[in-house]
Amino acid sequence: MLETLPRVSVTQDVHRFANFSHLPVFAAKKGLMIDEVTDVIAFAPNDVVAELMKSPFQRKPLLGNKFGLVSRFSDGEWPVFYAAIGRTTAEKESTHHYARKAAGDAAARRGVHYSIVRCRFSGEIIDLRPKLGEWPRLISDDYTFCNGLGKEAHDEPVDGFLAPSARNAGGTTVPAFMEGTLSDPLIEAAAKLRFDEGDTVVEVKELL
C-alpha cells in the first residue's frame, strides 16, 4: 500500500515518554518520590540517555527475543521508536496505555516513572495523515492494519511515518524504524504516572 505514497525528507524535533527499564522497578521498590528519581537521572545522565534511545532497537530475551510487545506499527518482530511532535501528544499516547493497563489490573496501578526525551529525527518519511479519512484504521485499537503498514515500511525500508495520533485529535506521532535517524537526545523532564479513581494523574518535574 505504501508504494503509491510519496516520500519526503524530514528533520524534526520529537518527544518521547521513555521508560528506563531499571528505574521504574527500582523507584517502585524504594518508594522514591519524583524529586529523588530526577536525582537518579542526574547522577548518570549519559547512561540513562543511552538506554532510552537504544532500548527500542534491542531484542528482549524475556519477550522471546522480540523487540517488544505488539504495538501499533509492530508485532514485535521489528523495532519501532515511538515519538511524537510535541510533548502533549507524547503524553496522551503514554497515559492512554498506562491507564488501560491500570484500569484492568489493580497490580498495575503503581506509579510508573518516565523520562521525557527530546531528540532529533532526520530521515525519509511517508506522511500518513492525509490518508486518515480513507484509512480510519490508522487510529483503531485493532492494530492489524497498522502492523501491516509497519512491516511494509520496515521491509522497504522507510525511515518513519508521520501518523495521526489515536489519543490526541490533530496530533502527530513519529514512529521511527531506523536507529540512525535519531540524534541529539536530551532528557527535558521526568514524569510520574499514577492511577487515581479512574483517571491517570501526571506529575512532571522539569530538569532543564
Mean pLDDT highest for which of 94-103, 109-118, 124-133?
124-133
More confident residue, 208 or 191: 191
Residue 198 backbone zone (phi > 0: left; psi -120 to 50: alpha; other: beta): left
- For the chain, the 3-state helix, strand and coil shares in percent, each to the nearest 5, are 40, 35, 25
Q: Record the pTM.
A: 0.86
Smallest CA-to-CA distance from 7 within 159, 155, 130 is with: 159
Q: For residue 30, what are the contacts with CB-CB under 8 A and spacing of at least 6? A: none
For the stretch 6-64, pLDDT in tens is 999 999 999 999 875 545 544 555 565 656 666 666 555 666 788 789 989 999 998 99
Instruction: Using the predicted structure, report yes or no on whether residue 195 has a pLDDT greater than 90.
Output: no
Query: In this predicted structure, what is the pLDDT of residue 205?
Result: 87
First to last CA, the chain: 42
Place of cell 502533549: 88
- Mean of pLDDT over the chain: 87
**Would you call 147 helix, strand, or coil by DSSP?**
helix
